């Protein structure tokens, strides 16, 4: 077993799990509760009445950003023995996504002073900017997953079904969020696609994280074990 590769696998897997939990809390729970589409007045009131809850959302996004950077580096190291150039490319792509995410988080942090200024219109502008930048970043994130799918299929240790699932998730992210960015009028169709593809997208990321923690970086089972059987000495008798 390559101990270094095993450590990179565990670091990636644990970081992905932390990221998923933080995203589920920050976006799935807090953001969806506080900010209502097309209702900036109520959104402003929610932030003013739940300042601590909003602060925890921001902290959650910062945790997501930090773990994202860890995953970029650790997955590059994990897949480098498979294909160093493609692994570096996927790491850089995820790094670009992280930069876009940081820019989105900046707009979310800017909401805080606006809540004291009681300016619902400006608040709506910054929240919309946060969501749009993050969604645009997920187009890049999808390309990263496609790269991971390629590396997984090329690897001798990652299950092939995992590689195909990462391919599907990557294409889904890129298509859905690309449609949101360039054809927002097709909101209804995008929503249906998101519902259909949401399961494989989530399963791919979480399943990959679990596999990394469970088996990532362990010795390949394809190598034949070293035989410890002691064969009896065989002598040849030569008769004249």
Instruction: Please spell the DSSP secondary structure of 104-120, one letter per residue.
Output: HHHHHHTHHHHHHHT-H
CB 57 within 8 A of CB 109: no
Two structure tokens written together for 36: 């209502």
pLDDT of res. 219:
62
Integer CA distances (angstroms), 190 to 6, 175, 187, 210, in order: 39, 9, 5, 29
Two structure tokens written together for 108: 């979310």
CB 53 within 8 A of CB 35: no
Low-confidence ranges of the chain (pLDDT < 50): 1, 221-240
pLDDT of res. 193:
85
Between CA 60 and CA 82 the distance in angstroms is 33
The DSSP annotation for the chain comes to --HHHHHHHHHHHHHHHHHHHHHIIIIIIIIHHH--TT-HHHHHHHHHH-HHHHHHHHHHHHHHHHHHHHHHHHHHHHHTTT-HHHHHHHHHHHHHHHHHHHHHHHHHHTHHHHHHHT-HHHHHHHHHHHHHHHHHHHHHHHHHHHHHHHHHHH-SSS-HHHHHHHHHHHHHHHHHHHHHHH-GGGHHHHHHHHHHHHHHHHHHHHHHHHHHHHTTTSPPTTSPPPP---PPP-------
Two structure tokens written together for 212: 């990394």
pLDDT of res. 227:
44
Between CA 12 and CA 44 the distance in angstroms is 37
Between CA 19 and CA 27 the distance in angstroms is 11
């Amino acid at each position: 077993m390559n101990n270094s590769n095993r450590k990179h696998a565990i670091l990636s897997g644990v970081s992905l799990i932390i990221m998923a939990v933080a995203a589920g809390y920050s976006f799935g729970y807090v953001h969806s509760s506080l900010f209502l589409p097309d209702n900036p007045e109520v959104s402003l009131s929610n932030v003013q009445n739940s300042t601590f809850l909003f602060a925890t959302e921001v902290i959650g996004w910062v945790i997501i950003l930090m773990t994202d950077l860890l995953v970029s580096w650790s997955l590059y190291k994990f897949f480098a023995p498979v294909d160093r150039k493609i692994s570096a490319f996927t790491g850089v792509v995820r790094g670009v996504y992280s930069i876009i995410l940081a820019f989105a988080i900046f707009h979310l942090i800017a909401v805080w002073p606006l809540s004291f200024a009681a300016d619902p219109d400006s608040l709506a502008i910054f929240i919309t900017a946060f969501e749009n930048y993050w969604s645009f970043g997920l187009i890049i994130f999808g390309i990263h997953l496609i790269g991971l799918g390629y590396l997984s299929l090329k690897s001798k240790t990652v299950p092939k079904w995992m590689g195909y699932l990462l391919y599907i998730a990557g294409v889904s992210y890129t298509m859905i969020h690309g449609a949101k960015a360039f054809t927002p009028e097709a909101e209804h169709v995008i929503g249906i696609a998101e519902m259909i593809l949401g399961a494989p997208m989530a399963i791919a990321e979480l399943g990959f994280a679990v596999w990394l923690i469970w088996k990532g970086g362990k010795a390949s089972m394809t190598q034949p074990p070293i035989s410890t059987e002691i064969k009896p000495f065989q002598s040849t008798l030569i008769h004249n």
